[in-house]
Amino acid sequence: MIITLAGGGSTFTPGIVKSIALRKEELEVEEIRLYDINEERQRKVGVLVDWILHEDLGLDIKLTVTTDKETAFSDADFVFAQMRVGGYAMREQDEKIPLRHGCVGQETCGCGGLAYGMRTIFPMIELIDDVEKYAKPTHWILNYSNPAAIVSEACRVMRPNARIINICDMPIAIIDLVCAALEIDKKDVEYDYFGLNHFGWFTSIRHKGEEVLPQLREYVKEHEILLPSSYLKGMSSLMKSNTDNEDESKQNRHTKGSWYYVWKGVYEIMELFPEYLPNTYLNYYLQQKEFVEHSDPERTRANEVEETREHNLFAGIDRYEATGEIDESTFYAGSHGDWIADLAVALKNDTKARFLVICQNRGAIPNMPYDAMVELPAYIGKNGPEVISRDNIPLFQQGLMMQQLNSEKLVVEACIEGSYEKALQAFTLNKTVPSMTVAKEVLDEMIEANKEFWPELK
């Protein structure tokens, strides 16, 4: 059993590897490979991964660190994809360019997400082709690469037979905090959900079969935020960008800096639309004006991440190389890695465990297009997802989803066809953009910023 992490230099790699290693028996994993195009970054992460596997856990799993595709993918069973095309430098542009024009600046939503998608489409298709060329015929690509909605649509259009499952851990991060807020055990929780990636709603959350959404509504209303009480004790620390001294808030990467407004926004949305629990990313679409107003165009989340997670990880690795001392708090381990590792377990062992995945609709939501890439619960076995169908969704949610879906479809077509007009249509249609004139201003500036990565648009 060989598992390859494509994007091995990611700050999430150590946590994912630890999740894989802790499931060594279930996965029967013999070798883990790290593959990245940034050799020095990956080398450093590889040092920490080697410590996790061989010093911390004392396992006999082989570790291979490479920049060679054939070495990375030959005979691989699973490829976990987590590429960030353009790195944090381009993420910063995705966030800051829209803000300069009064639009939401976010890496996967709005104009930033469209730009990031256009950078990622062709590298993802290249990855699919490389894996198909070298890996086992029974391989699975489990894709975490953002923006997952656009990436999954591009895969549907360009590589419809690829053995790829697109997933996202944000709903799981939400469930983690719901469980902490209500003081219930996540292993006893089952939920229903529908939407597009980063654009959906929880319609039911059940703990040991009992519906807890009413209880959650009361909690959110009382506290005016979706965060556990343990985090609320250090409320002021949530507004800080640098790592604080609150042990509670250090445990979750979603309670830093600008994330405060995201969790606060859940309360604000549910005050007006209380029926469902929204995915936190809906804030950017339903509260565009407010999120622009409390954003700093000169200092966005890309800067926050560089100052915290990025800095802490690589400073910790440098310290380990210099002194031999390791600080486990410098790397993030938790739901992000557990989610993708558990998915691999379900595929390998045909467990039919329930996961939330991005998949082609095919009638699962009757009043959404057949070919829409939607996010729904599914049972996972050796043949992939068995999607759980549902009834028609309400008109409000359907209308929002259709607008977002068509914006994403247009940007994929623009990328494939090299069409400036379709790119402009995609930006204009996106709910975070106030007018076609602003859409053109943002698009034109982004073309210049992305000239190294985007196809030529005519």
Question: What pLDDT, on a 0 to 100 scale, did the predictor assign at position 234?
Answer: 59
Measured CA distances, 80 to 10, 34, 124, 248, 252 (Å): 12, 10, 12, 30, 22
91 annotated to bind ligand? yes
301 annotated to bind ligand? yes
The CATH code that applies to domain 2-166 is 3.40.50.720
156 annotated to bind ligand? no
Q: Is 169 a catalytic residue?
A: yes
pLDDT band at 231 (very low <50, low <70, confident <90, very high): confident
Q: Which of 36, 77, 94, 169 is catalytic?
A: 169
pLDDT per residue as tens digits for the range 183-217: 999 999 999 999 999 999 999 999 999 999 999 99
Please spell the DSSP secondary structure of 246-284, one letter per residue. Answer: -TTGGG-TTSSTTHHHHHHHHHHHHHH--SSEEPGGGHH
Checking if the pLDDT of 240 tops 60, the result is: no
What DSSP element (H or E) covers 2? strand 2-6
CATH topology of 2-166 equal to that of 171-175+195-313? no
Query: Tokens representing 239?
Result: 């507004």
Closest listed residue to residue 94, CA positions, set 78, 114, 80: 114
Q: Is 338 a catalytic residue?
A: no
pLDDT per residue as tens digits for the range 144-188: 999 999 999 999 999 999 999 999 999 999 999 999 999 999 999
Q: Under DSSP, is residue 212 helix (H, G, I), strand (E, B) or coil?
A: coil
Domain positions in the chain are 2-166, 171-175+195-313
Question: What pLDDT, on a 0 to 100 scale, did the predictor assign at position 416?
Answer: 98
Give the residues across from 201 on adjacent strands: 194, 278
Mean pLDDT calculated for residue range 86-90 = 96
The CATH code that applies to domain 171-175+195-313 is 3.90.110.10
pLDDT per residue as tens digits for the range 369-398: 999 999 999 999 999 999 999 999 999 999
CA of residue 311 relative to chain centroid, distance: 20
Q: Which of 144, 281, 284, 285 is catalytic?
A: 281
| Radius of gyration for the chain, computed over Cα atoms and rounded to the nearest angstrom | 21
Q: Rounded distance, CA 339 to CA 172, Å?
A: 8
- Residue 289 exposure: Cα atoms within 13 Å on the Cβ side: 1
Q: Rounded distance, CA 128 to CA 341, Å?
A: 20
